[in-house]
């Protein structure tokens, strides 16, 4: 069975959403992000938008508008879209940071450093799909 790219994106978003429902991990505050990159600040919680409201291919500028709990996955998406592993370092949550780095570096072993089984599966599936697309 072949998956279309949109099917994969929807599946990844689903796993990310499930992870957020069951996770209370701390991510970088807006001040911590400002210290790393002045362009990467977020709005106050009452002015923020939900992850689901982002465009299909968000930018760091879009992440500025995202509510705190969704910020880590927004940055993860931007890092993956741009194949920029250094953006993963903006993520405070260690598991999501490992998720980000593993997917960009195609390092399946790193996926097993994650404790959340849903996130592990999403990580492995993402890497396998990318390898399949690349013919690796």
Better-scored residue on pLDDT, 55 or 99: 99
For residue 78, CA distances in Å to 10, 40, 64 come to 16, 12, 12
Q: What are phi and psi of 3, to 5 degrees?
A: -100, 140
Q: Is the pLDDT of residue 24 over 60?
A: no
Q: Exposed, middle or buried: residue 38 (CB in 10 Å: 0-12, 13-18, 19+)? A: exposed
High-pLDDT (> 90) share of the chain, %:
39
The residue segments making up the domain with residue 12 are 5-134
pLDDT at 50: 74
Q: Is the pLDDT of residue 34 over 60?
A: no
Q: Is the pLDDT of residue 122 over 80?
A: yes
pLDDT at 25: 43
Domain count, the chain: 1
pLDDT digits (tens, 9 = 90+) for 35-82: 444 343 444 456 777 767 777 788 888 888 887 778 888 899 999 999
**What's the whole-model pTM score?**
0.63
Pick the closest to residue 77 from 135, 35, 15 (CA basis): 15
- CB neighbours of residue 80 within 10 Å: 19
């Amino acid at each position: 069975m072949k998956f279309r790219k949109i099917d994969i994106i929807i599946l990844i978003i689903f796993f990310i959403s499930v992870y957020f429902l069951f996770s209370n991990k701390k991510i970088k505050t807006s001040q911590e992000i400002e210290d790393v990159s002045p362009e990467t600040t977020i709005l106050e919680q009452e002015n923020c938008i939900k992850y689901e409201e982002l465009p299909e291919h968000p930018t760091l500028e879009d992440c500025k508008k995202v509510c705190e709990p969704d910020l880590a996955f927004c940055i993860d998406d931007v890092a993956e879209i741009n194949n920029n592993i250094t953006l993963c370092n903006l993520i405070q949550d260690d598991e999501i940071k490992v998720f980000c780095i593993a997917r960009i570096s195609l390092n399946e072993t790193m996926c097993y450093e994650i404790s959340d089984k849903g996130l592990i599966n999403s990580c492995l599936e993402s890497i396998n799909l990318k390898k399949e697309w690349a013919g690796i």
